[in-house]
Amino acid sequence: MQSINLLMLRQELNDKNILLCFNGPISSGLIQELGDALKNHLQTESTEPSLAMDVFGVFIELTQNIRHYAGRLGYSDAVSSATVVVAQHSNGYQVMAGNIVEPEDGQKLVQRINDLADMDKAALKAAFKKQLREPRAEDSASGAGLGLIDISRKSSVPLSCSLTDAGQGKAFLSILATI
């Protein structure tokens, strides 16, 4: 019989103050359920309402971005799976999300995130307003590039990210937001 021991995984999650962790194919229903769980947790921790809403908002934008991207590229369930982690961090929270991307798209996103990291609050606001005025592509279901700016505005420190080779001509993009 195969032996299992989840205690190590559990201890690691506890040590890192991880309150929500998901890895696998992500549907809109699942985003909803995980989001509800996150909201409930934030409520029981009596997190300040505006902080709770920012954490929830960052979670929604990151996961919906992954869904939109996978949908646009017609990825299969296996490739469109996401890794999402929400952890408590000093006085706030960290939301991390990772997914498989085409290497060239990954590089563009890393560049975009680095550009946003150089902007102060006023520049981010201006960028958001400018993007808000961009005409929406007919086939675009998403907020048309507003997500990462919005996440940057809700974050207390600039976003960090990394792009690693995932084999088979794909890359894995990880994004970390601290709220």
Partner 1 sequence: MPVRAKPFSAFLQLSEEKKIMNLQTLFLEQTKNTPKVHADPATGLFTIDGDSYPENSYDFFAPVFEWVEQFLTETGKKLVMHLQIAYMNTSSVKAMMDLFDMMEDAFGSGKKVEVVWFYDPRNERVIEMVEEFMEDCTFPFEIEAR
Q: Is 24 in the site for partner 1 (CB under 8 A)?
A: no
Q: Is 76 in the site for partner 1 (CB under 8 A)?
A: no
Q: Is 160 in the site for partner 1 (CB under 8 A)?
A: no
Q: Cα(32)–Cα(134) distance, rounded to whole angstroms?
A: 28
Distances (CA, A) of 72 to 47, 75, 97: 35, 8, 18
* Stretch near partner 1 under the rule CB under 8 A, chosen from 9-17, 27-35, 80-88, 102-110: 27-35
Q: Is 170 in the site for partner 1 (CB under 8 A)?
A: no
* Stretch near partner 1 under the rule CB under 8 A, chosen from 6-14, 49-57, 104-112, 161-169: 49-57
* Stretch near partner 1 under the rule CB under 8 A, chosen from 10-18, 74-82, 104-112, 143-151: 143-151
> Can you tell me which of 143, 160, 166, 172 binds partner 1, judged by CB under 8 A?
143
> Can you tell me which of 72, 125, 157, 164 binds partner 1, judged by CB under 8 A?
125
Structure tokens at 103: 């290497």
CB-based contact 149:124 (threshold 8 Å): yes
Q: Cα(55)–Cα(15) distance, rounded to whole angstroms?
A: 21
Structure tokens at 149: 């700016």
CB-based contact 59:95 (threshold 8 Å): yes
* Other C-beta atoms lying within 10 Å of the C-beta of residue 152: 24
Q: How many residues does the chain have?
A: 179
Q: Is 32 in the site for partner 1 (CB under 8 A)?
A: yes
* Stretch near partner 1 under the rule CB under 8 A, chosen from 8-16, 116-124, 142-150, 156-164: 142-150
Dihedral sign, Cα of residue 27, residue 102, residue 159, residue 91: positive
Q: Is 85 in the site for partner 1 (CB under 8 A)?
A: no
Amino acid at 85: V
Q: Which residues bind partner 1 (CB under 8 A)?
A: 28, 31-32, 36, 49-50, 53-54, 56-57, 60-61, 64, 67-68, 125, 129, 132, 136, 141-144, 146-147, 150
